């Protein structure tokens, strides 16, 4: 053991691939949630499909006021070039070589390393967890993903290294499920710290030219689970713009996601022109939290559900999902974490285009029912990750046969998991019989062998 490790001197690597991530890490630092270390390094990763076409988080307006929280800012893309940072992870035999290379490149020496990452099952977080196999892990969630299940079964040797989950606490009273199977403690980054960081970043933003009382229209992340295909997205945003015009809104500030292709933005602009809505586009991608503080808009709407809840819960702004928080057809909507974010937005935010006050997240009765719904969705999305939620899911679905709940659960998915609502009532006990399920598994195995 080296002297640095023996004395507890460590270097903390904080990984950010979005402006939301950089802002949350800065707020966590201000709230003393990151602890002490010899050096705190921000590792920026541009994980867009074509990184050369999208600015990295540290190149966006509003980053400069965050810079002081970190000793140095490093580039994950530069360290890996020409490999793509979102898809690459080292082979097990190569990991020690990469550790030696990165320690030399970043001047880490023999110091112990601690990692603060957004995900450990994919992307930069997965790669760094392999490269630094002894590093304790802190995971953070920027939006509503903390309330969804871990997206896939995580290697227990990695999951056991996760010490904490940091999240913005957008729904007080709702317990995070992310990494709960490893007993990871969740800590909330205070809303006051998040808003203070956004206010400082807002001073760096160029003027949008929009009049007072404009609406902020959020673009969706085209690569997020459940993202609408381009054609459906354009139709959904067309309906949103029409609803805004009918509610009397004439000025709209478009806040596209940094990964949004230019042709999607042009499609929304074209639809706004057809409807006679004045659309303002900020110069380059801007962090939406800073935009909230700069504009103080009359309404925030769109299909970026985490950013909508943040507008309401953190920034005290009226927010609406504008009818976009609807179940997607088919069990494919349950890939990844399932529609947890849409479920929460539908429960807590209005669906119309008229201005309304911030969402009330203090209703304990409503929060208890929402928690049951979210846990049922989490089990359906990841039954192998959360087998202990089966009983809760069965009880919740049996007690809530009404359409407003069942619409979130494709019937075929319920049938495949032998949950209430999947099959006619008379067949339920038969499907849940252990003997019948063993016979079905044997039949599927025989069928697979026959096809070979």
pLDDT tens, 149-162? 998 889 999 999 99
Query: Tens of pLDDT along 272-315?
Result: 999 999 999 877 677 899 999 999 999 999 989 999 999 999 99
Q: What is the pLDDT of residues 378-416, one digit of tens each?
A: 999 999 999 999 999 999 999 999 888 999 998 888 998
Tokens of 158: 């990695």
> What pLDDT sits at residue 355?
54
Q: What confidence score (pLDDT) does residue 340 get?
A: 92
Same domain, 307 and 170: no
- Nearest CA to 348 among 337, 336, 362? 362
200, part of any domain? no
Q: Please report whether residue 376 resides in a domain.
A: no
Q: Are residues 65 and 213 in the same domain?
A: no
Residues whose CB is less than 8 angstroms from the CB of residue 231 and which lie 6 or more positions away in sequence, other chains included: none
- 115 and 62 together in one domain: yes
Q: Are residues 155 and 291 in the same domain?
A: no
408 within domain boundaries = no
Q: What is the pTM of this model?
A: 0.87
For 25, the domain range is 3-189
Same domain, 179 and 327: no
In this structure, the answer to whether residues 340 and 303 fall within a common structural domain is yes
- Domain-terminating residue out of 127, 155, 189: 189
Same domain as 47, residue 134: yes
Whether residue 40 is found in the same domain as residue 137? yes
Average pLDDT, integer, range 101-110: 95
Q: Same structural domain for residues 166 and 248?
A: no
- Whether the per-residue pLDDT at 372 is higher than 90: the answer is yes
Boundary residue ending a domain (127, 159, 189):
189
Rounded CA gap, 142 and 170, in Å?
Answer: 10
Same-domain status, 169 and 216 = no
Same domain, 133 and 49: yes
Structurally, how many domains does the chain consist of?
Answer: 3
The CATH number for 217's domain is: 3.40.50
Of 133, 155, 189, the one marking the end of a domain is 189
* 182 and 241 part of one domain: no
């Amino acid at each position: 053991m080296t002297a640095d490790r023996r004395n507890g001197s460590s270097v903390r690597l904080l990984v950010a691939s979005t402006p939301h991530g950089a802002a949350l890490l800065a707020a966590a630092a201000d709230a003393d949630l990151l602890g002490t270390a010899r050096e705190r390094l921000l590792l920026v990763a541009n994980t867009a499909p074509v990184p050369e076409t999208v600015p990295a988080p540290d190149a966006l307006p509003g980053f400069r006021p965050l810079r002081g929280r970190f000793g140095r800012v490093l580039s994950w893309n530069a360290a890996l070039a020409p490999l793509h940072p979102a898809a690459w992870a080292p082979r097990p035999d190569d990991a020690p070589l990469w550790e030696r290379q990165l320690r030399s490149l970043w001047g880490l020496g023999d110091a112990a390393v601690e990692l603060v990452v957004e995900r450990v099952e994919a992307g930069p977080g997965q790669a760094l967890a392999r490269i630094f196999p002894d590093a304790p892990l802190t995971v953070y969630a920027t939006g509503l993903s903390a309330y969804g299940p871990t997206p896939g079964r995580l290697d227990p040797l990695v999951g056991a290294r996760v010490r904490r989950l940091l999240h913005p606490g957008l729904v007080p009273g709702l317990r995070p499920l992310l990494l709960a199977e490893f007993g990871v403690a969740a800590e909330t980054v205070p809303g006051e710290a998040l808003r203070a960081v956004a206010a400082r970043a807002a001073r760096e933003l160029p003027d949008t030219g929009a009049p007072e009382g404009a609406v902020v229209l959020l673009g969706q992340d085209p690569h997020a689970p459940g993202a609408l295909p381009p054609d459906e997205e354009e139709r959904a945003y067309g309906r949103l713009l029409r609803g805004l015009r009918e509610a009397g809104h004439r000025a709209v500030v478009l806040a596209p996601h940094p990964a949004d292709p230019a042709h999607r933005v042009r499609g929304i602009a074209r639809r706004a022109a057809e409807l006679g809505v004045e659309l303002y586009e900020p110069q380059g991608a801007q962090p939406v939290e800073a935009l909230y503080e700069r504009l103080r808009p009359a309404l925030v709407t769109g299909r970026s559900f985490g950013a909508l809840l943040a507008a309401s819960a953190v920034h005290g702004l009226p927010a609406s999902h504008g009818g976009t928080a609807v179940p997607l057809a088919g069990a494919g909507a349950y890939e990844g974490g399932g529609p947890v974010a849409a479920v929460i937005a539908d429960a807590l935010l209005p669906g119309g285009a008229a201005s309304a006050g911030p969402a009330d997240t203090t209703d304990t009765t409503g929060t208890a029912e929402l928690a049951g719904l979210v846990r049922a969705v989490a089990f359906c999305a990841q039954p192998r990750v959360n087998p202990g939620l089966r009983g809760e899911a069965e009880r919740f679905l049996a007690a809530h046969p009404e359409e407003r709940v069942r619409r979130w659960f494709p019937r075929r998915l319920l049938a495949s998991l032998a949950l209430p609502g999947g099959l006619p009532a008379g067949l339920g006990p038969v499907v849940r019989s252990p003997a019948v399920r063993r016979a079905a598994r044997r039949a599927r195995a025989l069928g697979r062998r026959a096809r070979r």
